[in-house]
Every structure is written in C-alpha cells, then in structure tokens.
Amino acid sequence: MQTIYYIVLVPMVYIAFAVFIVGTALRLIKIFRTPPHPATLQIFPEKRPKWLWALHDTFLFPTVRRHKPLLWFFLMVFHISLFLLIIGHLELFYDFQIFQIIPHQIFLGKGIVGLLAFVSLLYFIFRRFHSPVKELTVPEDYFLLILLLLLVLFGSQMDWARRWYEYGELTVEDYRTYLTSLLYFKPELPYAVTYSGHSFMLVVHVFLANLFLIFFPFSQIMHSFLALPINKLRRG
Amino acid sequence: MDQKTRDDLLKLFQSKLNQAMLFYLETCTRCGTCVEACHVYASMGQVKYIAAYRHEIVRRIYKKYFKARGKLWPTVGESKELTEMALEELYEAAYSCTGCRRCMVYCPFGIDTQMIMSIAKLLLVGAGTEPEILTMLADTSIEKGKSLELYKEGFLKGLKNLEKDVVKKWQMEAGETAIPVDVEGADILYVALAGAHSIIPAAAIFNAAKENWTLSFFEAVNFGAFVGDPTRTKLILDRIINEATRLKVKEVCICECGTAFRVMKQMAGKQPFEVSSITEVHARYIREGRIKIDKSKFNRPITYHDPCQIARNGGVFDEPRYILKHLTDDFREMSPEPIYNWCCGGGGGLVALGEDTLDFRMKSARVKVEQTQATGAEILATACENCHAQLDNLNEHYKMGMQVEFLSSMIADALVPA
C-alpha cells in the first residue's frame, strides 16, 4: 500500500504537472500560431472599449445571466470558489502576506468554499441528466464533472475535518513539508501524510488531481485560456 | 467511403482550421445556454437543431482525426468516423442552419455556429453532395465574370427596357441617363441583383439624389458563400472588386442582399473604395436633404425585420430606423431588441433552394411569424432579398395578412421633390 501511496504522491504528481504544463503550452502555441481568420467575426452593435467588454463577457458571463439565471448563479459560485481554492493551495506552500488582507486560517471561508464548489458541481451534473442538455452531453462532460466532484469532495473533507471537527493529525505543516519538498525536487513524505487516518483522503485527492491535470490540455477545460480571446473575437 | 475520398475530405477539413476555428472547436463546454437561441429549435423543438448539437456533429469528426485522443480514447468525446452517414448528418446540420448567428449572442464564449457549419458545407462540396443548384448558380456567376463580353449586349438591352419604369418613379432632366453603366470615375458603383425590383427603385432614388452613380454588370448575390465554398466565394467577390477598381469608384453600394453586403464589407480586404449597404446610402441622402419623402404615402403601422447579415452581423441598425422615421409616425419595433431579432428562416441558401426547402422554412420560422404579428403592424419592411422572399412565403403560409415591402421600394414610392 505504501508503494502505491508513494507512486501517487510523488512520481505521478511530477508526471501530471509535466503533462499539464508541457501539454497546455504546446497546445496554446499551436493554436496561437495558426493564422487568424481573415475577416471580422464580430457581433453588432459594438461597444467600446472592445477589450473591456471582452473581459466583462469572459468573467461575468452576462449571456448566461440573461438566459439561464440559475446556471449563471452556480457558474459564478463555482468559478469564484475555484479561484479561492487555488489561493488556498498556494498558501499550503507559503504564507503569502497579500492573501492575508482578509485575515484567515489557511483555506479561506472556513470550509464553506469547498462546500459551495461541491454543491455547484452537483448542480452541473444533475442538469445534464435531463433533456435537452442530456442530448448535448458527451462522456467527457460526465467524466470531468464526476472527477471534479470527487476531487473537491475528498479535498474539502480534509479541510472540514480540521476546521469543523478539530481533526489534528494531518496539519498544515505536514502538507507544507510535503508540497515544498516536491517543489524543490527533494520529495519527502512526513509520517502523518502517509500513516494518519486521513492519508487515504489525501492520496485519493492527489490521485484525482493528477488525472485532472493530465486530461486538462486535451479537454474543453482549455476554455480557461481560450475564453478571453474567443470573446474578444465576438466583440471585434 | 474509400480511403482516398476520406483523405481528400480531411484535407478540406484541415484547410478550415484557422485560429478562430480552433477556438470554436476546442472551447464549447456544452453548457446548453444556446438551447433557445436557434429559431429552428424554438419553432420545432427538436434537439438536433440546438446550436451546440450542430457543433458537435462537426466536432466529433474533428476529435477523431485532429486530436490525439481520437486515437487514444475515442469514446470519451464520442469521436466519429467520416462516413457517408456522417455526411448525411453534416448535410442536415448545415442546411438547417441559416447562419444568422443568433446563438452567438447566447453563447458565454461567443462560438460562431456559422463558421463551424462552413466546415460541414465545404466537406459536402468536396464529396459532391452539396445542393447542386447552389454550385450551379455560383458557377454561372463566375462564368459571367470570365466572359462578360458575351453577356454585355443582352444586359444593356434589358436595362434599356427598365429605363422607362425608372423615369416613371422619378422624372429626369433631358439628356440624363436613367441607368448609367460603365461610368469611369463615378462616385458610387451600385451592385444590384438580377431582377428589375432591385434596379428600378434604387435607380430612381440615385437619380433623385443627383448621385454620380453607375450600375455594376454583376449581380451582388454570392452563391459561393451560401454553398460554403471559399474559392467560389472569392472568385464571385473579385468580379465586383475588379470592376470597382477599373472604374475608380469611391464607394461600392450593395443592394438589399444581406450575404452580398457582409461578404463585400468584411471579406474584400483593404480596398481603395468604401463599402456600404443601400440602406446606409439612403439614410445619408435623407440626412443630407438630397432626397425628400412623403410621410403620408404609407399610413398604416410599419414594422421592420432586421436582416441578420446586415444588422447583427453587419452593424446596420440605426439607418433603417432613421429612414422609417421619415416614412411613418407609426413604426412598431419588434421585441426583443434588434440584436435578438429572430432570423426569417430563409438564410444560408435556403431560399435559393426554393420549393425543396419550403416546408422546412415554413415550419422552422414559426417564431418569426409570432414576433412579427405581436407588433400589430400591417406593413413588414425589410432590406434583404432572401428575407423578403421568405417573409412573403410566411405571410402567405400563415395568412398573416401583411404587406411585405422592400425598404428601398417604399422610399422610391414616396419620393417627392427635395
């Protein structure tokens, strides 16, 4: 079992990050080196400044707000949660003073953020169970949503245990030792990481995160990078 | 389908993969925000007409042949082989889409379904399974460009017969030509359609405005664009560009034809002349006091159908409304606002396919009829040949009891001395 834990927590993490970084970079380079469309693809009437409206469209999803308000609500909740969770993970490496503008223990939101992301994902999955979104869905959509749902659930579970139930065996310091050791290519697995009651949670969480990172460059999650340029095309 | 045909078709597919197309193919999350965007889905309720569903028909082939996971893990994206059956599906998707780009206003990313459908259309051309009539019409246009001399005499004779009708609408001074042709140094080259209704009112208005204009030998409509063939589209477009350059005109004015306007305005590249729609030119004449129109001519409520390629996709919204303000005190705007205007259901070559598509066009445009009737207007004006033909068909089919009019004809009928 410890060998499997080690494989997931060390070599697989490196492989996943390598695939994610190299894959995403190569795909983006390929896309951006392809010649642009020779004519405008703009929609009128236009509003200026175009780049500001493109940013507005990219980050506030105004068209979804107008046509699918409930979906918009969960999309906003999910994407904001994701942003906060990324900050939380960065804080597992170092204390960034800038993030302490709002004083908090590591992982903003006292466990609520993960819960919100989880509920949003449940909504995204359930709305695909019925027509007409059901007919639009391909297996990849379920695969990614279920992957994310489990990823968030296992990750949040560790946060909830610490924050809500005072589970103290696996501490922020343990995560930090593990993560920074990976960063410096001197992998070190503290005892608590692999032998505490929540090691299993951590290993599953990291395993799912690895899968997600490996699939990222080849999936529609690339919209994280393409949403802005594509919206700019519409704004002209 | 044999391997050679498939390889040739995939080369055509590859030729469409520019940066914008890759954005469109890589980004869709199938969120379903576009569900209600398409007039065909809104009118007929079948899932296959949802924009994202149409995309996916093309995208599945893209995943199969242009993405690694088409080979490594084909089932995850349901990637699909290019077969005869796939071509049939592509046909249904492409020729039930009018290219109105209403779905683009719904999509959180702004994915352009018309662009994605252009892959389907090109594959059909490559496989020789496109609507033959569109290719034939495109080839006729191209042929006319190559051997103009053969057509010239007949064309000029035809124009002579129209001149008296132009004069009937607007009396000219002695010695002036009612329909000038081949005038070097003219300010405007007017590109009409092959039909008197596209020439007579326009000519009368140009003459009333004392415009230094000349009529193009060529018709504006671009069947190459309808059939989705970039080579033919370019050849048809080039005939007009060459004529405009030869005559050294300052402005090319496109008649009431949405596709022709958009293709010329957006695809001609940088040219020594401006491109405008005839609606813009007419609004300018009124604004500058060069023509005057009698408001009492049409004393019934009027509504206006924005042709998709001219308004949402071409940016001409204010000018037709400015003109209508001078034609009536009872203008009824359609709801919702113009950017959300329902397509008439006749674009993308569907009207050009005539009777073959009539049943589909009538069923798929039910929402357009409801939108129009909700205004309570009695006159339905528009500024596009395709829209006009389709709205005329709808008027008859749904017994709407409206009068469908070209905006330019209304102006010509209401002309009074300035």
Task: Render pLDDT for B273-328 as a digit per residue (tens, 0 to 9).
Answer: 999 999 999 999 999 999 999 999 999 999 999 999 999 999 999 999 999 999 99
pLDDT tens-digit map of B303-316? 999 999 999 999 99
Burial call B252-274: b when 16+ CB within 10 Å, e when fewer: bbbbbbbbbbbbbbbbbeeeebe
User: Hey, which residues 72-101 in chain A have their CB within 8 Å of chain B?
Assistant: 75
* Range B209-231 average pLDDT: 95
Query: CATH number for the domain including B241?
Result: 3.40.50
pLDDT tens-digit map of A185-204? 999 999 988 888 889 999 99
Average pLDDT over chain B, rounded to whole? 96
Whether residue B283 sits in one domain with residue B147: yes
B21/A contact by beta carbon, under 8 A: yes
Q: How far is B313 from chain A (nearest CA, A)?
A: 5
The total number of structural domains in chain B stands at: 3
Residue B230 contacts by C-beta under 8 Å, 6 or more apart in sequence? B122, B224
Q: How far is A222 from chain B (nearest CA, A)?
A: 7
Whether residue B184 sits in one domain with residue B105: no
Whether residue B104 sits in one domain with residue B80: yes
ipTM: 0.95
A48/B contact by beta carbon, under 8 A: no
Cα distances (angstroms) measured from residue B87 to each of B53, B90, B119, B138: 15, 5, 11, 22
Residues of B in contact with A39 (CB under 8 A): 266-267
A195/B contact by beta carbon, under 8 A: no
A64–B101: do the CB atoms touch at under 8 Å?
A: no
Residues of A in contact with B53 (CB under 8 A): 135-136
- Flag whether pLDDT at A97 surpasses 90: no
Structure tokens at B147: 């051997």
Interface test with B, best of A63, A134, A143, A228 (most B CBs within 10 A): A63
Whether residue B59 sits in one domain with residue B13: yes
User: Hey, which residues 72-91 in chain B have their CB within 8 Å of chain A?
Assistant: 75-78
Q: Where are the domains of chain A?
A: 2-235
* Range B133-144 average pLDDT: 93
* Range B168-173 average pLDDT: 87
Q: Which of B65-74, B111-120, B309-318 has the lowest mean pLDDT?
A: B65-74
Q: How far is A177 from chain B (nearest CA, A)?
A: 36
Percent of chain B with pLDDT over 90: 92
Q: How far is A89 from chain B (nearest CA, A)?
A: 26
- Flag whether pLDDT at A29 surpasses 90: yes
* Range B80-106 average pLDDT: 97
- Flag whether pLDDT at B142 surpasses 80: yes
Residue among B21, B110, B267 whose CB faces A231 most closely: B110
DSSP helix/strand/coil, B52: helix
- Flag whether pLDDT at A215 surpasses 80: yes
C-alpha torsion sign, points B34, B39, B41, B42: positive
Q: How far is A107 from chain B (nearest CA, A)?
A: 28
Residue A169 or A52, more confident: A52
CATH of domain A2-235: 1.20.950.20
C-alpha torsion sign, points B383, B384, B388, B391: negative
Contact B285, B410 (CB under 8 A): no
Last residue of a domain, one of B109, B130, B151: B130
- The pLDDT score that the predictor gives to residue B297 is 94
Residue among A32, A140, A229 whose CB faces B76 most closely: A140
pLDDT tens-digit map of B353-390? 999 999 999 999 999 999 999 999 999 999 999 999 99
Other Cβ atoms closer than 10 A to B172? 15
- The pLDDT score that the predictor gives to residue A109 is 83
A136–B29: do the CB atoms touch at under 8 Å?
A: no
- Flag whether pLDDT at A56 surpasses 80: yes
- Flag whether pLDDT at A174 surpasses 80: yes
Residue B279 contacts by C-beta under 8 Å, 6 or more apart in sequence? B256, B310, B316, B319, B320, B323, B383, B407, B408
Query: CATH number for the domain including B408?
Result: 3.40.50.10700
- The pLDDT score that the predictor gives to residue B375 is 98
Percent of chain B with pLDDT over 70: 100
* Range B42-62 average pLDDT: 97
Residue among B23, B30, B78 whose CB faces A229 most closely: B23
Whether residue B270 sits in one domain with residue B187: yes
- The pLDDT score that the predictor gives to residue B389 is 97
- The pLDDT score that the predictor gives to residue B149 is 87
Residues constituting chain B: 418
Burial call B285-318: b when 16+ CB within 10 Å, e when fewer: bbeeeebebeeeebeeebbbbbbbbbbbbbbbbe
Interface test with B, best of A22, A29, A46, A67 (most B CBs within 10 A): A67
- The pLDDT score that the predictor gives to residue B174 is 75
Average pLDDT over chain A, rounded to whole? 94
- The pLDDT score that the predictor gives to residue A101 is 83
Q: Specify the pairing of strand B331-332 against strand B302-305.
A: parallel
Whether residue B269 sits in one domain with residue B152: yes
Last residue of a domain, one of B130, B153, B186: B130
pLDDT tens-digit map of B179-208? 999 999 999 999 999 889 999 999 999 999
B270/A contact by beta carbon, under 8 A: no
Q: What is the pTM (predicted TM-score) of this model?
A: 0.95
B30–A139: do the CB atoms touch at under 8 Å?
A: no
- The pLDDT score that the predictor gives to residue B409 is 97
Q: How far is A190 from chain B (nearest CA, A)?
A: 37
Whether residue B359 sits in one domain with residue B216: no
For B348, which DSSP code?
Answer: T
Residues of B in contact with A121 (CB under 8 A): none
Query: CATH number for the domain including B64?
Result: 1.10.1060
Residue among B27, B108, B311 whose CB faces A61 most closely: B108
- The pLDDT score that the predictor gives to residue B313 is 97
Whether residue B265 sits in one domain with residue B138: yes
A37/B contact by beta carbon, under 8 A: yes
**pLDDT band, very low/low/confident/very high, at B69 (cuts 50, 70, 90):** confident
C-alpha torsion sign, points B132, B138, B140, B146: negative
**pLDDT band, very low/low/confident/very high, at B341 (cuts 50, 70, 90):** very high
Residue indicated by tokens 């576009």: B34
Interface test with A, best of B24, B27, B317 (most A CBs within 10 A): B27
Residues of A in contact with B101 (CB under 8 A): 43
Structure tokens at B131: 């609507």
Residues of A in contact with B69 (CB under 8 A): 218
Whether residue B265 sits in one domain with residue B144: yes
SS (H, E, C) B105-124: HHCCCCCCHHHHHHHHHHHH
Return the closest-CA partner of residue B216 out of B270, B287, B275: B275
B110–A234: do the CB atoms touch at under 8 Å?
A: yes
Dist. CA B186–CA A130, nearest whole Å = 61
Residue indicated by tokens 């979104």: A133
- The pLDDT score that the predictor gives to residue B176 is 83
**pLDDT band, very low/low/confident/very high, at B23 (cuts 50, 70, 90):** very high
- Flag whether pLDDT at B244 surpasses 90: yes
B71/A contact by beta carbon, under 8 A: no
Q: For the residues of B195-245, what is the DSSP string, one character each? A: SHHHHHHHHHHHHHTT--EEE-SS----HHHHHT-HHHHHHHHHHHHHHHH
Last residue of a domain, one of B107, B130, B153: B130
**For residue B13, what are the domain limits?**
3-130
- The pLDDT score that the predictor gives to residue A99 is 84
- The pLDDT score that the predictor gives to residue B380 is 98
Whether residue B219 sits in one domain with residue B101: no
- The pLDDT score that the predictor gives to residue B22 is 98
Residues of B in contact with A138 (CB under 8 A): 30, 56, 76-78
